[in-house]
Structure 1
C-alpha cells in the first residue's frame, strides 16, 4: 500500500513531537516519534476517496499502516479543513471541516492539561502534565500487533483486545476477521470469521501453541502468553531482541496471521512467518469426531469406534457433518438388572501426534498421566483425555470432539473413550492395546515380506513413470493430494501471457521442458514451466512439485502460483524472479562483481534458512536432493529462493537414512553415500549446501578446476585450509571487509562436505554457526583430498579411478 504524506509539522525550524491545545494536526502535516521511527498523520489508500488518520513506519517504502483512528467513519479526501486536536475536556478529537466529531479518545479520568505524543514503540498516547498515560493506541488495536503491544481478554471486566482485519488492502474499515485469545485454561489463540471460528492455535503449553505444527523455536520463540487466573486476564505479546521495532504481526483481510520484518539490506518488507494455507488448518474441517490429515487420502476419517454421520455427504467430500459413535459407551448402558453379572468397561484408544480438540477442561492437582486416566475412568461424561507435561491433565466432557488434526511430526497423545466389545480378549483396556499391537505386528510382517519379494523381483528394473493423465483427471488426482488451493489456469490464458510461447519470452531450457516469462491479465509477471511431452520422468516431477510446493511457504522458497492441466499440456506457474538463477552471477566473470561479500553472505544465510525450514520447521519434512547454484533463484533484491522440487522427497521425523533404487541429482553436488550407496538423508542436502557455499565464496564451479591441477573445488579448498591460506579461496572479483566472516563460512562449508553423513552438522547447527552463535569443530580430512593434485589422466591407478568424477553415470543431470 502506498501512503501519501506531507512534510512534518515544523515550528521554529524543528519537528513538533506533541499535539497540544494550541498545536493541532492538519492533513498537510505529520507527527513523528522522537527517534523518527513512526509517523502519524492523514493518509488515503490507493484507489480510495476516503481519508483516515493513522500511524505508519517512517521512511520505509512501501510503508505499512499499523493503526487507524477513524476506520469506522472516514473523512472525505477533499476535506482539507479536518484536524486532530485536543478538546476542552482534555480528550483527543478528530473533527471534520464542519466541526463534527469523527473520532475521540473518550478517556475517563482525564485532565484539562493534556498533550498527545507518538512514542518510538509506535504507541500514540494521551498524557497529563506529569506525562502519565491517560489513553494509548496500544489499548485500541486495529489489524496490527507491534512488539510490546498486547492483545487478549479480561474475564472480570469483559474487555477484549482483538486484532480486526481491514476489509481489503485499500479499505481500512473493519473486515470480517478478528483474532484474539480465549479465557479458558490453558488459553488458545483464535481467528474468527464474524462469530464463526476460522482458525485455532491449540493450547498454550507455556512455550508455544501446540496446535501449530510449524511453530518452531527458530520462528516464534518471541511470542509470550501471560495468564493470571486470579485476575482473570490472558494476554499475548511478542518481542524480538535483535530488532525490536522493525517487525510486526498483522491479520490479513483474508484471515491469515503473518509476521513481517524490514530487511534493511534489500530495503523491503519480508515475511518472517505466516500461517500455513492448508485445508486441515481451518476450523472443524472434518466435523465432530472427525480427524483431518493433509497427508492422507481422503484427508478426513472418523475416530476409531465412530462412523460417518452421512455416508452420502462423506463420499461427496463434505465432511462438516462429522461422525457419530458406532457403539454406545458401556458406562451409559443400564446395568442395574440382576442378569448383569459382568460390567463391561470402556477403554481409551491412544492417538499420537495430534492437535488436541477444542473445548477441553483443565483438571488441576492431577500431576500424572495415571491420575488423569483415573479421573476420566470415574466420569462417564469424559470423552477423552490428554496429559501434556508442561500443561497437566486436560479432559473433554462436551458432547463432541471438534477440530482434530493428525500431524506428520510433533503433536500430543490423545486418549479417546471407546466402548469395549468382547471379542475373546480381556475386558480391560490393556486387552484392546494388546490386540492392536498383535494385529499391527502381523500386518507389518506381511507388508515387509511382500515388500522384500517385490523389490527382489523388480531389482534392476527401471522405475515405472507415473501414468499420463489427461485434463480433468489431473485435477482429480491433485484434488486427492490436497493441492487444489492453487489456481488452475486455462491454457488459453497461458498462451496469451507468454505470447504463444514465443522465443522472445523464453527464459531457459531444463531437463523436463522450457521456462517462459509471462504476463497475466492482471499485470502480474510470472514464470511458466512447460513440461515436455517426451519427458516421462517429468510427469512424476510435475505432480511432485505441485503437491510439495503448494504446502510449503517460506520467504526463501520459490512460490508456486498455479498450474494448467488441459489435454496433454502440463504447466507450472511460478512467481517471476527477474534476476534468474545464482549461477548466472557467480560463474559469469562479467556479473560476479555485482554480488559483493555482504550480498553473498545474505544469500548463504537465506539458503540455509530455507533448508532449515524444509528439514525442521515446515508442515512437511522435505529432502530437496538437487540443491545447486542453478536451482537458487534471485528476486529483484538478490534474495535467494530455493526452486525445483521435482526430485524432492518427504520423510518422517524418525527416519534418518532412506534407500533408493534410482540416483537423481547433479554431479558435483551429490554426497558420497548417495552417489555410491544409494542412501540419502537430510545430511545429503547438507553436503550439497557445503558445495554450494564454497562455490559462492570462490566464484568457481566444483568441477571446473582441472587446469589448476586439483581434482575439484573441494580438494582445492581443503588444501588452502590445511596450509592456513583459506582466504585465498575468496573470489578475486570482490573485496572483503570481514575476513573472519569469510573464514567462518569456509570452515562451515568444509564441515558440511565431510564424507560420513553423521559427521556433518544439521541445518539447525549450520544456521547457528553461520551467525557466530555456535562453536565450530575442526573438519576431518575428507577422502576427496587424499590426493591433492590430480593423478596422471593417461594412466590412472585402480584406486584413483574409483574417485573419478566420471565414474557415476546413473544420474539425471538437469539444466535450466
Structure 2
C-alpha cells in the first residue's frame, strides 16, 4: 500500500500540479487554480462575488450554472487582488496568504499540534468537505465540515462534540455580495432540553422547538412521519455530543440548508430542468413563527386574532388538573426540567405534586416506542404556538373553572372550524362552476370568430387558419416581460433589426429568455408577426429555435424565445477573436446542424416551409454551439406538392438571396439551398459574401476564381491553420457550397441530396457550374407592388427582417 502511494505521490510531483481533488503538502495553489471533488460536484479555489474585486477562497458547486458558494475560508479576511496563494505552513496547517512572499497568513486551519507527516494532504471529498489528512493512514486532522459558514450540506453535523470541544454553528453572510459574518446565527442551544435556535445577535429570532424523536416540534414537514423523500434527520443527545445530521435519500439530489442575510433558515433543492434553486421550506414565514410573538405565558394561534393566556396555577385547589393543547410547538425548553426515565403518566403525577410546576409534556411523543421522557416548566413560558397538522400534546395546569371554560371554548372552536370549512367548500364549488361557464363561453366565442389584429388586454393569442384549425401559444402578461427585462433596460439589449430590438430577460423562476419586440416603425407588421407565431408554434426540431410564447396587448407585440447564450453565428465567423475558437470539427458540426434544420423545414415537418431569409445572423448558437435556425417572419408555407411560389414583395438580405428570387420574385426550396451554400462558404472562410474581397469580386466570385485555378485551399480561414483537419473534407464542403450557389435553380441539389453529400466522397459529385452574383453588384429589382417596395440589404443596410442577436457594444 505504501509503495503504491509513494508512486502516486511522486507522479503528482513530476506533473507539477495538484492531483484533481488533492493539494499535496509540497505544493501550493495560486489564484486561478481549482481542485474538484471526485465526480466534480464541488470545486475549491479562489472566487469573487458580483462586481467586487475582493478575492475569497471557498467551496462551490461546480456543475451548476448559478454560482453557489457553500463554504468560505477567509470570509472576514478577503484579498484585494489576485496575488493570493494557498500552501501548507511548516507546522502542517493549510494557510491562505495575500501573496507568495507573505509569512503571516490571512487564514489558517489552525490545528494546534504540529503535523510532521510528509504524506499530509488537503483533499476535497465528494460531499464537499475539505479534509486535512494523512493520505497513507487516513488519519484526519481538520475538516471544513467542522467549521461551517452559512450552509449545511448533507452529512454535515451541526452542534457540539465534547471530545474536540467544537460547536458547529451556521452564520449568515452580511449581504448576498459580502460573505463576511452577518447578524444571524443558527445553533443548538444545549441548556435545558436541546433545541435549534436562530439568533439575531444575542436575541432569539426563531427556534425549531424540541426534538420529538420524529422531528422538530416546530418544523412542520420535516418529520419522518410525513414521509419526506428528500432527506432524513438524525439527532444525537448524550454525554459526548449534542448534534444534528441531515442525510439525503437520493445521492443525485443537490440540496442544502442555509441561513440567509435576512434571517431565514431555508432548505433548497436544485431543479436542473429550470436551472434554479427551489426553496423547499423556509422559516420564519408567519407572525406566529417569530420568537415570543405572544409574550409571556401565551401561545400563538394563526387561526385566531388573539392569543390564549396561560394562567398561573394555584396549588391545592379542588379538582385541579391539566388542560390538553393539541398540535403545539411546546414552549422554549431551555428553561424546562428534563427526566428521560419517566413515562407520560409519571410525568403528570410529578408535575401535579409540585406546586411550582405549571405545565408538562413528553420529551419523545408517540411513534418512537410510545411517549417517554418528561419535560416540566416551573415559571414563565415563552414561544408556544399551535399548528393545524403538526406539533405535539402539551398539558397546562388549571383549576376546575379553567378546565370547564377551556372545554366549552374548545367545543365552540370546533363548531366555528366546521362552519368555516363548509363555507369554504361551498365558495370553491361556486367559483368552479362560474369559471367553467366562463371558460366554456369564451372557447365558444373564440371558435365563432376569426383572429383579429387588435386584441383586448389580457386576451389569449389565437388565430384560425382557412382550414378551420385553431392554434394557440402561451401568452405572457406585459408586466411579466417588463419585469424580466428590467423595463427593457439598455444593458439587456442583445441586438436590433428590421423587426425591432431584442432583449434578454429573466423570469421569476430563473429561466432566461430572449424577447423580440415589434417596433412601431418596423417594416414588418401583424402579418409577419402572425406568420412567425404560426410557424414556430408548429415546428419542433433540435436545430430550430424554440418559441416559449408571445405577448400581445394593444399595439405592443412581442415574441418570447429560449435564450441562447452564444448569440448568433455572425458573432463568431466575422470576428477574429471569436472565430479563432472555432476549429474545423466545430465548424463542420454547425454546417451539418444547419443542413438538418433546413431539411426538416423542406421535407420532414408536417408542412413544407421556405425560410427566405437564411443568413449568419439568423443562425443562433446554444451553450454547446448547436446551431438553431431563427426568424421565420418572412417564411412561406407550401402545401401538398407545391414546390415554388412568387411574390411582388422581395424581402431578404443581399449576399444570401438567389438570383431568381432577387430578380423576379420567384422562390422555392432551391432559394434556401442557395442561401445555405453562401453560409457554408462564409463558415469555411470567415468572410462575408456581401463584402468586396478583390476588386469587383465578392466572396462567391473569389472562391469560384480560385476553384477554377485549382487554388481553392487559399481561401480557407487562416485561423484554422493551427488546427489539424482533413483538407479533402474542407474542399468537399467548398464543392458542396459551390453546387448550392449555382445560377440556375435546377442545377442546385435539394436538401436531402445536400445532407447525403456530407457522407460521401467529393469524387462522386458533379462539377459545379458558374455561380450567381460573382461580380459583387447589387441586383436591380423590378417591383410591381408600389405599396410594398423591395427590401434588399447591402453591406451597410438591413433587410426588413434583419434581426441580429449580437452585442450592441463596440468590440
TM superposition score normalised by structure 2: 0.49
Bigger radius of gyration, 1 or 2? Answer: 2
TM superposition score normalised by structure 1: 0.49
